[in-house]
């Protein structure tokens, strides 16, 4: 039976797919099976009778020391296992796994050593590929710019799941702010990893449904924006890719902020801004554009820009066609008008098309500006450049521009009138420049109303006016002058009677030079002014006197009484003819300066306020200026200025005293005071002659010259 079993065992060993070998107690190889021979590629004779140490040529040199330790291990532990590399006869190295077992008797003595050796090259190759694959996987994962985490789902219920970190890459560590050893092998805890609620919900969704989901949000504790993409690579696993999108998000937010800032800016600027898409439909309209066009943003959005402009714009057909073209050059510096609230408004626009990178039109931006005020200002500037601002007549620049147009035979005879306003200096000096301006305006109106529409009427200089009369002979021009004179005579004397000196010249042929024509009219005007100057002064002076007599009913009687007293005093004091004439003229014109005063100032007398009194005292200076402007009164101008001076220097306006005051004025002061005291006024009743003489006597040496007082008192006796 034993022999039969032994035979079966040998048959089994002979057919085993792994190599089997037996060593005796002295480590001499006694048996190898066919699989062993096939493994080494050598016959059994190459091994039988040899000690394993003698087979070193069959073992890879770098494995030799380990092989010796393997043999010793079999003695010490009765079982030794080793993987090493052997050389086949054909020179090919293969990996083998060798298992050597020590067989002992019941006394522990070694009977023999039995070994089994098998080819594991294919497994080693697979293992190396797995290692290489894992290495490649790890290299790939570690080099990813996205954070990567692999988690195992360790529990699942209807409300939430639990996860265990299996692997993470460096970028995940950076995104989360924790080290690998703080993550791998640990459970996913919200507090530890400070995850947002949305993250946990995302992972739970993937674990429960197996569907990939993504989320992008702000992580407050990291102050970053992260994008998470979670999926299920295998059953029970969840993987997450995390991308730091902070820079992109910051750019987006910056762009959004810039867009909002731009929108706010565009809405708040004073110029209208309209943006359209490629189809010319409005996509943006700021408040200023709404105000300019009269369209609200809600009503305009989506509307065709052409329709909006057609509804408000009055433009030429060519301009409208230009707007409706799709691929025309960029619009700029266009103008149009609209009617809003019944008023015509002038609108300036500058528009540019927006192109993409390929040059295709994507839309248009139009900037609108209401330039009505500027247009009106330009119109006004244009008007003022050719018109006099005071009178509204054409000015010298206009005449210079149109004068060449009159070199036309059809306009002959051509007459020219040059007029010079009388009394302008007097009016300016006495009544102020505003009154002088009004005098110029009044004469301008008179001249304009005396001429035809086709005549050119211009203010030529300060007080000069030029009239150009086409197709007008000399006698007709003289008739125009007479019409002007008559209208001047009929005009109000406010503040003085208006009059002017005029000169006429006529051009009958083109051979006559226009410059010569003007020179002739100017010469005749100056000649007329010289001839009429005294008459003009008298007209103005008489106008002033008439006005004073109308305002102050007592004035004429006052002057008459003063004249009688003056004649007596001239005889008593034996004045020469010049002094006599000056005294008589002063009596008549001493109060000419009252023309500047309101009538109530004269009537109120001593009841004037301090401010009114200061204004009242200005009449002496006004009288002086009037007299200085007139040849007939110029000799007594200084006397008029001084007629309120007192002997003791308490008078006005210069505070003269004693003999600084002209002698004629000292005489007049006594006569004027006496007459005022002996007549009724609004302020007080008349004194008796005796009372008045007493006051004159008391005033001697104060208000009056004592010498003149004595002469006057003697005269009254």
| Residues in Cβ contact with 98 at an 8 Å cutoff, skipping those fewer than 6 apart | 70, 81, 82, 83, 84, 115, 116, 117
| Cα separation, 221 vs 395, whole angstroms | 80
208-211-216-222 Cα dihedral, nearest 10 degrees: 50
Q: How many residues does the chain have?
A: 717
| Cα separation, 320 vs 333, whole angstroms | 15
Can 277 be counted among the known catalytic residues?
no
The CA-atom distances, in angstroms, between 210 and each of 158, 163, 241 are 14, 15, 15
Closest of 217, 206, 211 to residue 161, by C-alpha: 206
Dihedral of alpha carbons 12, 16, 21, 25, sign: negative
- What are 22's two structure tokens? 């037996």
| Per annotation, catalytic residue among 244, 420, 463, 705 | 463
The CA-atom distances, in angstroms, between 687 and each of 118, 343, 409, 553, 554 are 166, 72, 78, 20, 17
Q: Phi-psi bin for 34: left (phi > 0), alpha (psi -120 to 50), beta?
A: alpha
Burial class (CB in 10 A: 0-12, 13-18, 19+), 166: middle
What are φ and ψ of residue 84, in 5° steps? -150, 180
| Residues in Cβ contact with 403 at an 8 Å cutoff, skipping those fewer than 6 apart | 514
| Strand stretches in 399-539, DSSP E | 414-421, 456-459, 464-469, 500-507
Cβ(375)–Cβ(346) below 8 Å = yes
What are φ and ψ of residue 24, in 5° steps? -75, -175
Cβ(420)–Cβ(525) below 8 Å = yes
- For residue 548, how many C-alpha atoms fall within 13 Å in the half-sphere facing its CB? 24
- What are 410's two structure tokens? 């059809």
| Cα separation, 228 vs 366, whole angstroms | 43
The 8-class DSSP code of residue 463 comes to S
| Cα separation, 537 vs 627, whole angstroms | 10
Q: Which residues are catalytic?
A: 463
């Amino acid at each position: 039976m034993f022999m039969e079993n032994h035979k079966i065992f040998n048959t089994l060993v002979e057919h085993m797919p792994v190599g089997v070998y037996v060593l005796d107690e002295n480590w001499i190889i006694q048996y190898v099976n066919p699989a062993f021979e096939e493994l080494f590629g050598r016959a059994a004779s190459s091994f039988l009778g040899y000690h394993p140490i003698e087979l070193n040529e069959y073992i890879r040199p770098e494995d030799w020391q380990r092989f010796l330790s393997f043999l010793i291990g079999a003695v010490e532990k009765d079982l030794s296992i080793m993987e090493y590399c052997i050389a086949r006869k054909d020179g090919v190295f293969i990996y083998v796994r060798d298992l050597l077992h020590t067989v002992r008797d019941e006394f522990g003595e070694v009977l023999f050593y039995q070994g089994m050796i098998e080819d594991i090259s294919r497994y080693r190759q697979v293992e190396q590929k797995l290692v290489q694959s894992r290495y490649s996987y790890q290299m790939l994962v570690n080099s990813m710019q996205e954070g990567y985490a692999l988690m195992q789902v360790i529990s699942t219920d209807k409300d939430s799941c639990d996860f265990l970190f299996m692997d993470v890459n460096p970028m995940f560590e950076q995104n989360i702010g924790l080290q690998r050893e703080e993550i791998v092998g640990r459970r996913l805890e919200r507090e530890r990893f400070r995850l947002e609620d949305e993250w946990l919900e995302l992972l739970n969704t993937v674990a429960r449904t197996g569907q990939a989901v993504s989320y992008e949000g702000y992580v407050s504790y990291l102050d970053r924006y992260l994008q998470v993409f979670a999926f299920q690579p295998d059953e029970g696993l969840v993987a997450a890719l995390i991308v730091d999108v902070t820079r992109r998000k910051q750019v987006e937010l910056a762009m959004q902020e810039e867009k909002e800032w731009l929108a706010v800016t565009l809405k708040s600027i004073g110029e209208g801004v309209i943006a359209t898409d490629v189809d010319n439909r409005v996509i943006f309209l700021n408040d200023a554009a709404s105000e300019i066009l009269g369209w609200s943003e809600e009503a305009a959005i989506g509307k065709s820009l052409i329709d909006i402009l057609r509804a408000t714009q009055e433009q030429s057909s060519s301009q409208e066609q230009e707007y409706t073209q799709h691929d025309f050059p960029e619009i700029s510096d266009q103008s149009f008008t609209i009617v809003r609230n019944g008023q015509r408004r002038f609108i300036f626009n500058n528009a540019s098309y927006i192109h993409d990178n390929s040059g295709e039109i994507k839309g248009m931006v139009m900037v609108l500006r209401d330039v009505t005020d500027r247009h009106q200002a330009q119109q006004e500037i244009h008007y003022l450049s050719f018109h006099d601002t005071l009178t509204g007549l054409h000015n010298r620049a206009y005449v210079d521009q149109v004068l060449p147009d009159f070199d036309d035979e059809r306009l002959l005879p051509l007459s020219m009138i040059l007029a010079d306003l009388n009394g302008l200096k007097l009016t300016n000096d006495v009544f102020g420049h505003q009154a002088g301006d009004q005098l110029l305006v009044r004469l301008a109106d008179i001249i304009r109303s005396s001429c035809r529409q086709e005549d050119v009427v211009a203010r030529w200089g300060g007080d000069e006016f030029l009239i150009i009369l086409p197709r007008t002979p000399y006698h007709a021009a003289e008739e125009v002058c007479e019409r002007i004179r008559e209208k001047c005579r009929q005009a109000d004397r406010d503040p003085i009677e208006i009059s002017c000196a005029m000169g006429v010249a006529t051009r009958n042929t083109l051979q006559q030079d226009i410059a010569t024509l003007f020179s002739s009219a100017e010469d005749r005007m100056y000649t007329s002014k010289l001839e009429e100057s005294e008459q003009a002064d008298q007209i103005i002076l008489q106008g002033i006197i008439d006005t004073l007599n109308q305002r102050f009913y007592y004035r004429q009687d006052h002057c008459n009484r003063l004249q009688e007293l003056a004649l007596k005093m001239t005889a008593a004091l034996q004045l020469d003819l010049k002094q006599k004439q000056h005294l008589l003229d002063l009596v008549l014109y001493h109060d000419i300066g009252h023309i500047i005063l309101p009538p109530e100032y004269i009537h109120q007398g001593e009841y004037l306020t301090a401010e009114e009194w200061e204004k009242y005292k200005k009449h002496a200076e006004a009288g002086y200026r009037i007299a200085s402007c007139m040849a007939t009164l110029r000799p007594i101008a200084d006397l008029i200025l001084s007629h309120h001076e007192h002997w003791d220097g308490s008078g006005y306006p210069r505070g003269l005293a004693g003999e600084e005051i002209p002698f004629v004025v000292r005489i007049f002061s006594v006569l004027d005071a006496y007459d005022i005291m002996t007549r009724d006024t609004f302020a007080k009743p008349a004194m008796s002659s005796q009372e008045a003489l007493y006051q004159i006597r008391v005033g001697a040496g104060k208000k009056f010259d004592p010498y003149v007082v004595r002469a006057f008192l003697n005269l009254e006796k």
